[in-house]
Amino acid sequence: MFSFSAHPAMISVTQGIQDAFRYLGASWRRWLPMVLLISVFTLVIYAVVYSYVGSTDFRSLYYVDSYTGQIVFEPDAQSKLWSLVLPGLAIGLVYVILNMVAGWVFAATAISGLRNRPLTIAGVVERGLWTIVAGIVIVVAVLVAVIAWVIVTVILFPIGVLLAFAAIPLGIYIEIRLIFISLAIFDGFGPIEGIKEAWRLSNGSVLRMFGWGLMAILITIAFSIAGGLVSAPFTATGAAPVAQAMSGAIGLTASCFTVFMMAVLYESERARKDPNLYGPVPMPMYGGYGYPSAPPAIPGWIDPSAPPAPYGYPAYPAYPAYPPQPPAGYGYPSYPAQPPAGPGWANPSAPPPGYGWVNPAPQPPAFSYPGQAQPGSGWVVPGAPPSAPAYPSAPQGWVAPPAPGPLAPPQSGPAQPSAPEPPAPSDLPTPTDPPAAS
């Protein structure tokens, strides 16, 4: 089964190449028999042709006269020509059929890996025939366009010439838009539905698909160079059938890899056009569905640094990376005991009713207790238990007098004599009038 190195909607061309190579190695039991079959056929056919006609080189039909410098055909050139052309046409036709069937097998292998479906011969043949029908529809549309262009050129020659120049980029554009037809048909669509699906998936992604196509062409060229290097020793030693078989096997492997690479792109475009297939795309700033370096969440607790619920993906509120919302109270459920909340008091470590944190700086209560000054005078930091007023009827702003200080500790040593008590008022002398003058 296909395993993507990233979310399909966010996969890059480098990751797509890696995934295609990985699946190429994992599914060799499905595609390699077809490659070996065509290679063996190539080996046998070329061996028979070489043994029958001696060579498939058309240069054996003529030679260059050394005196005149003109080309002179051999007396039996015509018979040799037919002996080369007819087998060549037959071999070419068989090769076209075998390569077409090989393409069916490669596409069916790619889709079976994406959908984890069984690969059957009947399914490959049925879907392959539907691709032929889709190809006929496209060929008919192209013929109609060519006939219309010829008519326009005959009537308005300059406009026809301009349309001929514009046909090159237009043809590349249409080919890119319809590149997913075979994969869509093997995915279960009919011929017309497959064309529509390919057109839908390529909408808005032409430049991306063009870049992937250029990379696939470069990789195919690299495979061709490798095939030439491998088959060169056999060609030099005269074992041309072996060289042709090995070169064909490497070329078919390159074709299989290209189909797998386009299958990765096909599924990536499906994930972009239909987000419900693979869930929400992880945001780059979060590094995935949440923070991979975040500590494990306690049941019922959310990471305060996680994206808020309103900003996330409301269609997936219960994704495992986002635990349930905290309880309606305050604090964390791991705290067994919560301090009692008095009027106007709030736990500064508690999350707000919405999400995230609030400013931990204390805020004055909305009202004060009877006998307490209004906010701004006499207010204390939240967390301290409120103090009841000393006198409910005390005037506004009045506080109780300070309590007397503690008594002085007793002094050590002998007991000190107590001070004499003051005389009673009855013991004091009564003032008398001064003596009269004599």
Residues 226-268 have pLDDT tens digits of: 999 999 998 888 788 899 899 999 999 999 999 999 999 999 9
Residue 302 in this model has a pLDDT that exceeds 70: no
Domain ranges, ordered by start, for the chain = 8-275
pLDDT digits (tens, 9 = 90+) for 191-210: 999 999 999 999 999 999 99
Q: How confident is the model at residue 406 (pLDDT cuts 50, 70, 90)?
A: low
Q: Is 63 in contact with 72 (CB distance < 8 Å)? A: yes
In the predicted structure, residue 120 carries a pLDDT above the cut 50: yes
What's the token pair of residue 213? Answer: 């196509």
Does residue 28 or residue 303 have the better pLDDT? 28
pLDDT above 60 (res 388): no
Residues 6+ apart with CB under 8 A from 197: 180, 184, 187, 189
> CB–CB of 326/300 below 8 Å?
yes
Checking if the pLDDT of 295 tops 50, the result is no
**Distance in angstroms (rounded) separating the CA atoms of residues 311 and 230:** 57
- The yes-or-no verdict on residue 134 having pLDDT over 90 is yes
Please say if the pLDDT value at position 55 is more than 70.
Answer: no
Q: Is the pLDDT of residue 50 over 80?
A: no
Q: Is 60 exceeded by the pLDDT of residue 162?
A: yes
pLDDT 10s digits, 29-40 = 999 999 999 999
Q: Are 198 and 184 in contact (CB under 8 A)?
A: yes
Please check the confidence at residue 269 and state whether its pLDDT lies above 90: yes
- Would you call 64 helix, strand, or coil by DSSP? strand
